[in-house]
Chains A and B, each alone.
Chain A
C-alpha cells in the first residue's frame, strides 16, 4: 500500500519536471521553440509567459494536492477518526475565485494586444513583399504579383523584409504554417486571407499544411528559403530569364489533385481567380484524359509515398 502511494508521489513530482523540460529547455530546439523572425519571437514570448503562469499554478496546486494526500491519508493511527463536517468558508472561496481572475487578466491583456498587433506588418517602416499563396490538393503555389513569377512547393523570400502572404485555396482547406517564422492561417476556397511573416536572417525554414485536406496532405511540405535581399533580387531576375512561362493548361492541371515536385515559372496566366473550382473537381471525378495523364506524371515524383497508393480520385 505504501509503495503505491510513494509511486503516486513520484509521479506527481516528475510531471512538473517534464513540463519544465517541454516549455523551455528542450534538448532539440526546432519549430516553435526556434523562432527566426519577429512574429515567431513575439508568439514564443507569449507562449513562455503563459507557460510560466500556468507552471506556477501547477506547482501550487500540486503541492497542495500532495500535502493533502500525505497528511490526511487513512492510517492505522487515525482509525476511527471522524472528519469534521465543514462545508463552506466564504473567505477562502473568495480568494480562490480571485486568483484565477487575476491570472486570466494577466494572460488576456497581452493576448488581446498581440492579436491586434499581428494584423499589422511586423516591420511597418519597411516596404513589404506580397506573395499570393494558393493551396491546391496537394501542393503549394506561390505567385509574386510584383515580380510576375511563380513557384510551386517552395518559396523564396528576402530576409529582413516583411512578407504579406495572401492565402487562397482550390479544393479542400489547408493551413499555411511555417513554425520558425510564425503562426499559421487557413487557406480557404472563396475566402482570401492574409498572414504577415518575416525572417530575420537567411536560412531555410520548413513549412507545412496544418489542416487535413485528404490523402496527399502529409506531403504538403514546402521550404521557405530566405536570402539576402540582393540575392533574392538576383534570383528573381534569373527566374524571369531562364524559367518557362506557365500556360493556362499547365495552371489548370496544377490545380487538380495529385503531388508534384518543386516548379518554377517566369510568368503565370493572368486569369481571374476562378472561385468556381468545383468545375475542375467535377471533371476530375469523371476521369478526364487530362487527369489520367497527370496520374503518370505523378508516379515519377513519389515523394516517399508508398507505391500501393494511387493519388487521384479516379479509382
Chain B
C-alpha cells in the first residue's frame, strides 16, 4: 500500500507503450476527440448537448444514450473479438503476443457482458417500459440519470485501461489467486474492479427504479396480469438485479481491499480462500446471465405477437416460466465449476437444478411457436431477429443441458464447446433480442423506420457469419481446444476449423457495419412514421406519436385488457367518449448533478486504480458534496407543462 500523498507511477509507465496498434489507437482517440469538439463548436451545439441530453432526466433520452453507448461498446468488444480471431486463424501466428491476447480476451468478455449487453437491455427498458405501462416517466427520473452516468463513468474508466496503465488480463471471471496482487500486480486488474464497481452501483439503482416504477406507476386498470410481456420481464429482471448485484459489489470490494490494502480474503496465505471468489462471482454471474436474457425473451414475445398479428399464446405460462427461471437462476451457479471437486452430491444437485431450467424455457419456446400458429407472419426486420433467435437459442439451450450433465462437463469445461454454447445463448439470445428490440422501437425513438432492405442485409450477413463462426467451435472444443490459449501448434489439426471461424467472425463484423450504414441511410431517407403506430402494434407505446412527447401521455390511458392499445383500436367507434380537457402535467427538471457526480466517481475510481489516494479521496468528497447539494435542492426539481404546450404537441401529432 502506498502512502496517502504518493503519486507513484506503475512499473510499466503511465501510458501503454511498445505496441503499434496501441499507438494507432492513441492517434485515433485524439483525432476523434478533436473531431467531436470541432463539430460541436462549429455548429454551436454545446448548449444543445448539455440542455437536451447530458442533463436530461427523460427516460426516453436516457434510453437512447444507453443504446448509443452499448453500440459503441459492441464496436469495441467486436474489434477485440476480431483481433483474437485473427490471431487464432492459423496455427503459430504471431499477430498478438500472449500478454496482449490475455488482455484482449479479458476486455472482450467484460465489455460485452457488462458494458454492451447490460446497457443495451437497460436502454430498451428505459425506452419502452414507462410507455408500455402508461406512465410519464420512471419512478425516480433523476436517479435514472445517475444510473446511466455511473454506468458510463464505469465503462469509460474500464476502457481507458488499454492506453493508460494497461488492461486487466485475468479473464472476465477474474479468478483468484491469478487476479490477486501477487500474481498480477499493477493497475490492470484494479481497472476491472473499479470499473465494474461503479457501473454495478448504477445497475443496482436501475433495478430498484424499475421495480418501483412497474409496481407503483401502471395506468389505472393495468393489473399485473394485463402487463405487456416485456414489462413483466423487466419486473422480474429488476428483482434479480436487486438480489444479485449486491453480491458483485461485495466481491469486488473484497478483492479491491485484497489488492490495494493487502488483505487476504482470496489469498492462500492467512486463511484466505481463493475459491470463495469463484463462488461469489458466479452467485452474481449466473443470475446476471438471466438479467440479460429475460428482457430479450420479453422483446421476442412482443415482436412475435405483433408480427404474427396474434395475441401471445399462453401468456400466463410465459409469466410463470419467467418467474421459475429467475428463481432457478440463483441455485445453479456452481455448474460453472463442477471441475473444482465439490464431491458427487453437490455436483449432482447443481447438475440437476441446471437441467430443470430447460423445462420453463422449453415451455416458452413452444408458446412462441403456437403464437405463430394460425397467425399472419410478416417478415419485418425485428421479426427476422426474433425468429432467428428460436433455432439459435435452441442450439445454445440444448448444449447447455449437455453441459449440465456433470461427467460430460468434465470433458467440455473451458473448451471451445463451452465457448460456443455461451455465445449461442448470448448472441442468439441477448444480441438478437437487442437488435429485435432496437429495430422494433426505432420508429418510436426517432420517428422513422429503419430501411427494410438494408436492415435485412445486415440481419442475414450477421446471421450467416454467426453460425459460421460458432458452429465449428463445438467440434474443435471436442477435439480438445481450450479457451484462452493464444496460439496452438499445427499438429493439433485445428487450423482449418479456426480459419472458418475467423471468416465467420469477420462476416459478422461486416453485418454490423451494414447495420451502421442502415442507421445513417434511414435517418436521411427512411420512411417517416406519421401515425405513431408503425407496426400496427398492440401495446400502449404505439398509441403515442413518434417520437413520443416528453411527457408521454397527455391523458393517462385507462386499461381494460391485455394488449391495451390493440383492444382500444378494436373497441374504437363502439363507444364515443368526449375527450377530457388537458390538465397541467407535473414533470421533473433536468439536472446536471448526475453527470457531475459521476465525473467525480470516475476521478475517485481512477485514483484507486493507480493507488493515488489523495485523488481518490478528493473524488469521493466530490461525490458526497453532490449528494449533499441534491439533498438541499429538492424544491426546484420539478415543473408543470402548461395546457397550451400540451395542446401544441397533441395538435402536431
Contacts and interface: CB of A to CB of B under 8 A. Distances in A.
Interface string B311-327: 11111110000000000
A188 B489 CA distance: 27
Contacts of B464: 11
Contact of B463 (A1, A11, A73, A308): A11
B487 A189 contact: no
B471 interface: yes
Interface stretch (A100-108, A260-268, A290-298): A100-108
Contacts, number: 322
A227 B173 CA distance: 39
B68 interface: no
A269 interface: no
Contacts of B467: 11, 15
Interface string A2-17: 0011011001100100
A261 to B, nearest CB: 15
B503 to A, nearest CB: 15
A181 to B, nearest CB: 10
B409 interface: yes
B183 A281 contact: yes
Interface in B351-377: 351-352, 355-356, 358-359, 362-363, 365-367, 369-370, 372-377
Interface stretch (A46-54, A125-133, A143-151, A238-246): A46-54
B399 interface: yes
Greatest chain B CB density within 10 A among A57, A81, A184, A212 is at A212
A305 to B, nearest CB: 7
Interface in A193-222: 193-194, 206, 208-218
A289 to B, nearest CB: 19
Interface stretch (B475-483, B588-596, B643-651): B475-483
Contact of A83 (B97, B178, B184, B374): B374
A119 B344 contact: yes
A101 B99 CA distance: 46
Interface residues of B, number: 105
A249 to B, nearest CB: 21
Q: Which of A58, A101, A137, A177 has the most CB of B within 10 A?
A: A177
Contacts of A26: 475, 478-479
B373 A210 contact: no
B378 A74 contact: yes
A4 B460 contact: yes
A68 interface: yes
B518 to A, nearest CB: 16
Contacts of A141: none
A172 B177 contact: yes
Majority secondary structure, B binding face: helix
Contacts of A217: 98, 484-485
Given A72-B376, A74-B378, A115 B479 contact: no
B478 A104 contact: no
Nearest to B493: A28
Interface stretch (B211-219, B389-397, B604-612, B634-642): B389-397
B358 A171 contact: no
Contacts of B170: 212, 214
B394 A104 contact: no
B182 interface: yes
A61 B351 contact: no
Given A185-B410, A210-B482, A112 B97 contact: no
Given A97-B363, A108-B352, A172-B183, 7 more contacts: A1-B379, A50-B401, A97-B359, A103-B358, A115-B347, A190-B274, A213-B178
Leading 6 A-B pairs by shortest Cβ distance? A183-B410, A31-B480, A54-B398, A100-B362, A68-B372, A193-B341
Interface of A: 1, 4-5, 7-8, 11-12, 15, 18-19, 21-22, 26, 28, 30-33, 40, 42-44, 46-47, 50-51, 54-55, 57-58, 61-62, 64-65, 68-69, 72-74, 78, 81-89, 92-93, 96-97, 99-101, 103-104, 107-108, 110-112, 114-119, 137, 171-173, 175, 177, 179-180, 182-186, 188-191, 193-194, 206, 208-218, 275-278, 281-282, 285, 304-306, 308-309, 313, 315
